[in-house]
A and B are shown apart, each in its own frame.
Chain A
């Protein structure tokens, strides 16, 4: 028996009030709206598969580690030498499946696996530095950099957006309330009294 598609519900719904209060001062925290997320795997030496995926996505799959590509409202994050996370409109899974037919690949819908938080403002880097061991200085972590690492001991995908003003933090749903609560606490000193 077919069931009606479930309406996406944010795992951070219970923190909506706290997040609404985190929109002023030197650093702000916002949850990104729910979007389609696909985990895409294919052979990076299969030029035809790379071209077919790029034609659907409008952007070449980034092949350099710790990088990302964007086209319109679509983002492609490097996750591994043969693995990417595609965030964008929901129609992509079918388009990619068609474009990659007959080629060795895997497409997994992980839309309901993650929440994405956006940390912005002059003090955003200082907040992240409290819980991240990587060098986040712009000379080492330029705009557009995307890494997978630990933030406050939770595994995250940390993407510094193209304009460099925002850090997008993608985290598993089950860690999202913990991480958002940790961030709100780490932000407290930069918020208006």
Chain B
């Protein structure tokens, strides 16, 4: 476990049971769940041996929704109730959704907090809820296969996802009843699976083109440390766009008006995808369109025509590739290997383009469908505490710059893109009016200089500033990004100490209250007792804290604490241990806080020891 690791690298002696933790690749087109069993990470199949779960949910009146292949099969006959590619809507407002336009055959209704909801036969659903349905299905699969409750899950997200999209994904996990151990970037997960497998060292480019997103990441692998140097991409670019381009072409050839016929549009999309897949091997593909009047158009799509349709889409991956090299401070020449991930990299045309940009033939010997889930499972296993931890470490970055709005609608950047996370940064701003008592803070994400061109993440206000002349009030705004890449912001007036802070809740996200309500509803639905669930959760948390403090004491209690200090901690330990077996949720929570307070000083001393140890321990082999 982590704590023993600190004093005795590599020698974990604490007995602990194996915790069930999984990695989930929540994809635009397909989702997977993977787990490490007996030291081997692999994806888990369903009862019928299928590993990929199509990310499709079909809502039915009066019964539970269908997820996966059954839902996908109904997409053409029941397009309005069958939701596919919902990942493209995550963290997006109704305006963004309108911009995706005709691409989506559903009906939208604006929801609370501007988050769009999809109208179905079974009511209105937010993208977060639809995603939660997919996650729930994978959770059930994992629990049935592994034979127990899951401790937690690592869920992957495109590296280029912004804060709102990440937050939405984490909310979906919570809603599905999962403890989200970490949000992990998809290319980083792929690198982990690939790098550990090949014992690779050097600089790697991971080119990930899936159904809905494109990511390009540059990583340095060095003695088990996976250091992301830079990442770039487009969170709305993928195989889906090619399907649409081909479907539009087919309908045009057949002389059919696209918007007139949702059923026909869905069928065309399905057939377009089939043709696209065929053209990964064949020189041409047969295509047909059934017109609304029942007549049929038949034709063929040659490779030449196909390339003319998809080349502009593939071309959009090139600029991010160039940018990522520049941001990483390297040239294509410095790259040891290019790894292709995502189903769309099966297309010869994509491979050619990637090879041309990086000047070397990319590796394709890993299964591009499963590699992301497998990497996530490896990380989940570590975070659950099942592994001696000194073998692997992931250092990831934030994909887009973060800043706040200043005068004139301009953005002042506070954290630059590609900064390694976690990170915290503060910047001081001054009041600009005499007697100003409040300051509005508008948090944005993006690279452009104008607020209007960036994504608005949140707004909050610092109030109660004592009146001063303009320029005398100093407001320090602190941005903190955690290891999931999620942002929290606080502001404090420096002369008076007036403070205000927010965990950034994206404008198009769900509020905590909404999530609580949805959770309660889904539990009521599952006929489970809410109190019992709360108690169980609090007990699990108490167990985690107890185990952590016990192993910290075993490792450093003698060296770093006086006998009296140690007794103080042990008293709180004993108290929590007995509270834990009771049924009073509030008292267990208090016991946890009391133990937290009692161990603060101890924690600080252990950390200080760690600084010296980290540098001393590595001097011989690394610094020599």
Q: Do A and B actually bind?
A: no
Interface on B for A, CB 8 Å cutoff? none
